């Protein structure tokens, strides 16, 4: 009775291995590879930060880069208010600084209704 069940084609043991390899291949191209690409883009953006760039942090804070160190970035979030963040905390660059002339952060005063 057991001998009849074993008598099949020789490729029966190869099919599950091919399915598992195909599954890993699909996972690599659909999940792992795009994540690596996004990480490389974020690292290149964070390494190219320069004073004068307007950025947004991962917390949603807008600011202008005033100083860039090895691991930190100093942002001016209001006139005279400077905060320091780790480079990976910068989510994106809103506007690049013009290389020809230094830029200044200008915030217009709005009258407060009493």
Does residue 95 contact residue 65 with C-beta atoms inside 8 Å? no
Both tokens of residue 100? 């020809």
Summarised one tens digit per residue, pLDDT across range 47-99 is: 899 999 999 999 999 999 999 998 999 999 999 999 999 999 999 999 887 76
Summarised one tens digit per residue, pLDDT across range 20-53 is: 999 999 999 999 999 999 999 999 998 899 999 9
The architecture that CATH gives domain 49-105 is: Roll (2.30)
Does residue 88 contact residue 46 with C-beta atoms inside 8 Å? yes
pTM: 0.60
Q: What is the DSSP letter of 113?
A: P
């Amino acid at each position: 009775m057991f001998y009849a069940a074993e008598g099949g084609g020789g490729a029966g043991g190869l099919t599950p291995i091919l399915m598992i390899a195909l599954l890993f291949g699909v996972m690599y191209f659909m999940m792992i590879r795009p994540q690596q690409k996004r990480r490389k883009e974020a690292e290149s953006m964070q390494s190219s930060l320069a004073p004068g760039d307007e950025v947004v942090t991962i917390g949603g804070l807008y600011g202008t880069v005033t100083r860039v160190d090895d691991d930190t970035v100093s942002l001016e979030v209001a006139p005279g208010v400077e905060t320091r963040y780790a480079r990976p905390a910068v989510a994106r660059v809103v506007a690049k600084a013009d290389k020809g002339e230094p830029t200044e952060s200008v915030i217009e005063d709005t009258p407060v209704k009493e």
